[in-house]
Amino acid sequence: MIDLRLLRDNPDIVRASQVTRGDDPALVDAALDADARHRAALSEFESLRAEQKSLGKQVAQAQGEEKQELLARTKQLAADVKARQADADAASEELRGLLFRISNVVAGAPAGGEDDYVVLREEGTIRDFAAEGFTPRDHLDLGEGLRAIDTERGAKVSGARFYYLTGVGARLELALLNAAMDTAVAAGFTPVITPTLVRPEAMQGTGFLGAHADEIYRLEKDDLYLVGTSEVALAGYHANEIVDLSAGPLRYAGWSACYRREAGSHGKDVRGIIRVHQFHKVEMFSYCDPADAEAEHQRLLGWEEQMLRLVDLPYRVIDTAAGDLGSSAARKFDCEAWLPTQQRYLELTSTSNCTTFQARRLNVRERVEVDGKNETRTVATLNGTLGTTRWIVAILENHQQADGSVRVPEGLRPYLGGLEVLEPVVA
């Protein structure tokens, strides 16, 4: 939720952000109108309440006709106070609903939509398979040859876009996620195994029940949601709390299964395990001083790039355009690995600076001293991916060899008992 003071003092900034995102700027004016009605009703309520209290004292001292007149006025005031309270409550509820529909204010992201990202840099060397004398196979061909990926049985048991990771496939995912967790712990993150079912308050608080709510699995009988990222559970971890940031950001690394309906993605990346309904992920999550959020964002990106170097993948970093941001993100950087068989880059990580947007919804604050007085203020939250099942796609394709084997990146070998090459299984 955006800062109401910002909306009041600088509505043009919020309108401009809405336009840049491709969202409706009229929501800003509707919210301002509801806010004005709320404040006016509150002012009238308080004035009437003051008069009501004053009359109460006068009634106790009055007699005869004067007392009857005062009692009549008191009765009318009681009705007026009740009416103004109802008006204030209705306007407050309307305002809250509108504030929940306004996306976070964009901070530095390029204008435009999905294709208007800005490439910040490219890292690593893209292999020339033609010069090596063979045509690369896609990750599913390789995975089936290694007996690492089984989509046919996944579909048989669970339906389209489900799969089994078997043998070295299962080991490879565990190696990747353990390496990600070790990277996080070395950077000062607290490892957390998070719940994968959450209440609506947590899902709404993180901004996932907006335009993309159809992506989420819901258990209607229990009124619980399956998370698409442990970001949701980690953001809700300190809901309605005052946290201590005196020693720096609070950083958590969540390991969880994740679930996405992939609504609207029919025909996109249907082969293999690029776009699936269930996967595993290690997610970084940080609570920090709002003044430090931009620097923390760069730190999260740095740890993501460290993981990409660990598995020796060629990648690029993009600055995501405003129209492609989630409603909670003020800015987002993606790291995309090169996919040889499709001759394109594939998103492997993203890191978002959500400023105070999520924490304001979830009521996460810190104590600060202002002019010698202790006050509370909303903190900033940020998130970033350190490793996920999809990375297996890029690892297999970029490290494959002509005979269908796959070289294990040196950074993962300690997590695979020193294994250097994944060999095809002969039937």
**Angle, in degrees to the nearest 10, between helices 168-186 and 391-398:** 110
On whether 279 is known to bind a ligand per the annotation, the reply is yes
Count CA within 13 A, CB hemisphere, residue 286: 31
Which is catalytic among the residues 101, 275, 309, 377?
275
Phi-psi region of 223 (alpha: psi -120 to 50; beta: other; left: phi over 0): left
On whether 260 is known to bind a ligand per the annotation, the reply is yes
Q: In the annotation, is 260 catalytic?
A: yes
Tokens representing 95? Answer: 């305002």
Among the listed residues 195, 191, 384, the one whose alpha carbon sits nearest the alpha carbon of residue 288: 384
On whether 262 is known to bind a ligand per the annotation, the reply is yes
On whether 349 is known to bind a ligand per the annotation, the reply is yes
Which is catalytic among the residues 350, 361, 365, 366?
350
Which is catalytic among the residues 347, 377, 407, 413?
347
On whether 297 is known to bind a ligand per the annotation, the reply is no
- Angstrom CA distances, 280 to 18, 32, 154, 194, 346, stand at 33, 42, 16, 12, 17
* CA 307/CA 124 separation, integer angstroms: 13
Report which secondary-structure segment, H or E, holds 369: strand 364-370
* CA 18/CA 26 separation, integer angstroms: 9
Which is catalytic among the residues 260, 299, 331, 365?
260
On whether 277 is known to bind a ligand per the annotation, the reply is yes
On whether 348 is known to bind a ligand per the annotation, the reply is yes
CA angle (287 as vertex; 286, 293 as ends), nearest 5: 85
Tokens representing 240? Answer: 């309605």
On whether 306 is known to bind a ligand per the annotation, the reply is no
On whether 283 is known to bind a ligand per the annotation, the reply is yes
Tokens representing 25? Answer: 């700027």
On whether 230 is known to bind a ligand per the annotation, the reply is yes
On whether 350 is known to bind a ligand per the annotation, the reply is yes
On whether 375 is known to bind a ligand per the annotation, the reply is no
What residues pair up with 257 in beta bridges, in sequence order?
A: 280
On whether 266 is known to bind a ligand per the annotation, the reply is no
* CA 293/CA 82 separation, integer angstroms: 44
Which residue, chain included where needed, has tokens 């690394």? 253
CB proximity list for 201: less than 8 A, separation 6 or greater: 236, 239, 362
Tokens representing 420? Answer: 């250097």
On whether 276 is known to bind a ligand per the annotation, the reply is yes
* CA 101/CA 364 separation, integer angstroms: 20
Using DSSP's 3-state secondary structure scheme, residue 17 falls into: helix
Q: In the annotation, is 390 catalytic?
A: yes
Q: In the annotation, is 39 catalytic?
A: no
On whether 278 is known to bind a ligand per the annotation, the reply is yes
**Binding-site sequence positions for L-serine:** 229-231, 260, 283, 383, 385
Residues assigned a catalytic role: 260, 275, 347, 350, 390
Residue list, annotated binding site? 229-231, 260-262, 276-279, 283, 347-350, 383, 385
Mark the binding-site residues for ATP, compressed into ranges.
Answer: 260-262, 276-279, 347-350
